[in-house]
Amino acid sequence: MHTAQKSQRMTRQRRVVLEELKKLKTHPSAEDLYSIVREKMPTISLGTVYRNLDLLWRNGQILKLDMAGGQCRYDGDVSPHYHVRCMECGIIEDLTPDMVRGVDEPVVLKSGFKVEGWRLEFSGLCPACNLASLLAD
Amino acid sequence: MHTAQKSQRMTRQRRVVLEELKKLKTHPSAEDLYSIVREKMPTISLGTVYRNLDLLWRNGQILKLDMAGGQCRYDGDVSPHYHVRCMECGIIEDLTPDMVRGVDEPVVLKSGFKVEGWRLEFSGLCPACNLASLLAD
DNA sequence: GTGCTTGCAAAGCTTTTGCAGACCA
DNA sequence: TGGTCTGCAAAAGCTTTGCAAGCAC
């Protein structure tokens, strides 16, 4: 796992990765985004895409939707919204609050998905890691 | 991705995997659980642990907490509760509703975590996959 | 007996990392 | 100029899968 850090340099690569992701309404994988970004910057490497996505995620500029075993998906829309994911094919769609009824017994009303489960997860720093990051400053 | 299916046989392996996971208060990885299960069944294979965890998850008997790039974590407690995960060290802890204030501006009150983000995700079958599974019956 | 399940090991895939050169501030 | 960042390619690491034998029902 990496150390939390702020972006230091706004390189061309980083800007393009962020811009292209923000343009999309979908939830692309790193590989998907790599293909898209390469149209504007053919020499960028996949490793750089990964490194920048990680950094942007740590800075709260993008969302990272991790998938079991498979690829992570990224979301350039950081405004409050929810997701629904197909357990079968992996497709991810956005949900707005009005599409959801209750958190304890959630039912997705308008998406057409057959909902089997839900998960509310917070992320941040545990007490130990938070202390360590404070001491590192 | 696998086809959704119900468990057909309650093998010794499957029972032990489920029992041991249910006993734990932690959120073990497949590898963690493999170590634990091997104490009761030394000949079980890691592949079998994975296969059973996947099947149990699909049957709604356990939760699967996927981690970006790293290992998945599993949770034998399927009652409604939330999680908080450290972005730095990856530790996962349980949260109860009284520890959380609001979904739109969430703050974890009693965990000691410094919260940087949250995510509400539903899982299930998209319209196409749901139709396919109905037709398969 | 049928066909789902297992153990083993190899393969598959996504993501991470080392390094030397390039670049931003 | 100094510390970051990139490209490339190899390595890492988790998870999946093929196959023959075994087991549940």
pLDDT digits (tens, 9 = 90+) for B42-68: 999 999 999 999 999 988 899 988 765
Task: Give whole-number Cα distances, B7 to A31, A48, A86, A122, in Å.
Answer: 34, 42, 20, 31
- Say which nucleotide is closest to residue B69, CA to C1' distance: C15
**Nearest by CB: A120 against B1, B118, B125:** B118
Share of chain A above pLDDT 70, in %: 82
In this predicted model, which residue has the larger pLDDT, A71 or A133? A71
- Cα B128 from Cα B120, distance rounded (Å): 23
* Residues of chain A with C-beta less than 8 angstroms from the C-beta of B121: 65, 82-85, 118-121
* Residues of chain B with C-beta less than 8 angstroms from the C-beta of A95: 122
- Cα A66 from Cα A68, distance rounded (Å): 7
> Of the candidates B136, B18, B122, B29, which has an alpha carbon nearest to the alpha carbon of residue B77?
B18
> Of the candidates B38, B36, B72, which has an alpha carbon nearest to the alpha carbon of residue B57?
B72
Q: Chain B: give the shortest CA distance to residue A6, in Å.
A: 14
SS (H, E, C) A27-40: CCEHHHHHHHHHHH
Contact B112, A127 (CB under 8 A): yes
A88 interfaces chain B, CB cutoff of 8 Å: yes
Q: Would you place residue B1 in the very low, low, confident or very high pLDDT band (cuts 50, 70, 90)?
A: very low
pLDDT of A60 strictly over 80: yes
